[in-house]
Amino acid sequence: MEEDDEYDDHGDESTQNVMKHVWNLIAHNAHLAVFIVFVMETERDPAALFFYLLTDPVHYHKNLKDMQKWAYEIHSTFLLPDAPLRVPNITAQIVNEINSALEERFDQDEEHKKLFVKARFVAKNAVRLQLNDFKAERSAGLSRFSGPSESDLKTCVDNVAKEIQVINDHLIPVIDTLSHDLENCTNRTLAIASCLATIMSKIFNAKSSRNASFLDRCPMFLSDKKSKLFGKNVKKIPLMGHNFELKQFTHPTLCNFSKGTIWGIGPQGYACQNCDFNVLKRFVNRVEEPCMEKSRKVTKTTQLSKLASDLGLPLMRTAAPLPGRESLRIFSTNPDELDIGKCNLSLYHS
């Protein structure tokens, strides 16, 4: 059972009642904004709350390909073992089931609609506990974070302008503390900023001049716009012999530079078309490791030159075996003198 089964208090818009159940909380944007700020300001872990909000089925893409991209963005941000904003108590079994659904069965039997059901159940329990803390601390006046008054919150229920004002007044200071150095912040801070940008823009529809620059810069889930946070999305980057192409990853892949899993909002990184090197977008210009295909050639050339030199024989370029290519061959005037003349020691340059 994913959703609450108590629907007995409809119509009672007191804060205590709105905050009674998770389903009712997420139907009230101002209350939800205040709860988000409580979680952040009291240094509780916001991972379960953000995951739960962003995987609400109302946000599912209709197009299967977009759905698959989005699913990996969420999976790599919240659920994989080294995800920067990992939801607590997600079991290895839950992660493995999602991994195999992403890789093998995504387009079968509406598999994608069931993808996050178990993880949402775990997350919702965590949110429920935080909500209980919020209610207890607020009613006892104990919390470091007090939030708007009961009457202000009640006004928001049928006044959209007031609702947007409460959301902005409380969330923008939190966003300001996160957003001053998005290029150099930790993965976790960037993930939190992306969640808040998405919630502000897609759930609260609270775009304003006060948050426009943040929403413009910060990568967002559920968005068609590609973030330019780590530079323009250059499609091809030749570097260290690599032929890097911008890529939207859709299943777990290692970043060969940072050694972490490639995560987050796509296109997340670059993949070399000549070798198996993959790298997160933010690190692509720092790659110093040469392309493996290139280095294999280099190694072969070096070995061949050394061998030729040891044998006292010249290393010759020979006629191209294929159009546009040439080969290097150890040249011996007397093939009987050395078996090497019969060996296939040629190297093809493209």
Stretch that binds Zn ion, among 107-115, 125-133, 235-243, 263-271 (CB under 5 A): 235-243
Regarding 287 and contact with Zn ion (CB under 5 A), the answer is: no
- For Zn ion, which is the closer residue by CB, 65 or 235? 235
Strand arrangement, sheet containing 326-330: 315-318, 326-330, 347-349
The C-alpha atoms of residue 24 and residue 229 are separated, in whole angstroms, by: 35
Whichever of 46 and 267 has its CB closer to Zn ion, that residue is 267
Supply angle C-alpha 77, 64, 231, rounded to 5. Answer: 45
User: Which CB atom, from 22 or from 291, has the smaller least distance to Zn ion?
Assistant: 291
Q: Interaction with Zn ion in 290-309: which residues (CB under 5 A)? A: 291
Q: Please say which residue, 159 or 285, places its beta carbon nearer to Zn ion.
A: 285
Candidate residues 75, 138, 170, 242; the one interacting with Zn ion per rule CB under 5 A? 242
Could you say which residues in the range 22-81 bind Zn ion, by CB under 5 A? none
CB 298 to Zn ion: min, Å: 12
> What does the alpha-carbon distance between residue 174 and residue 41 come to, in Å, rounded to a whole number?
8
Cβ(233)–Cβ(226) below 8 Å: yes
CB–CB of 194/220 below 8 Å? yes
Q: Which stretch binds Zn ion (CB under 5 A): 5-13, 34-42, 128-136, 285-293?
A: 285-293
Compute φ and ψ for 247, nearest 5 degrees. -140, 140
The amino acid occupying position 333 is T
Q: Taking the complex as a whole, how short is the minimal distance between the CB of residue 292 and Zn ion, in angstroms?
A: 6
**Residue 236 C-beta: closest distance to Zn ion, Å:** 12
277 touching Zn ion, by CB under 5 A: yes
Contacts of Zn ion in 245-274 (CB under 5 A): 272, 274
Confirm if 164 and 206 have CB atoms less than 8 A apart: yes
Binding mask 186-225 for Zn ion (x = CB under 5 A): ----------------------------------------
Shorter beta-carbon distance to Zn ion: residue 75 or 242: 242
The DSSP letter of residue 56 is -
Residue 178 sits at φ, ψ, to 5 deg, of -85, -30
Residue 54: both structure tokens together: 């962003």
Instruction: Give whichever of 99 and 258 is closer to Zn ion, judged by the CB atom.
Output: 258
Minimal distance, residue 350 CB to Zn ion, in Å: 14
Q: Does 275 contact Zn ion by CB under 5 A?
A: yes
CB-based contact 298:290 (threshold 8 Å): yes
Instruction: Say what the alpha-carbon torsion angle 160, 164, 170, 172 is, to the nearest 10 degrees.
Output: 170
How far, in Å, CA of 265 to CA of 83, rounded? 12
In angstroms, what is the minimal distance from the CB of 239 to Zn ion? 9
Q: Which residues bind Zn ion (CB under 5 A)?
A: 242, 272, 274-275, 277, 291
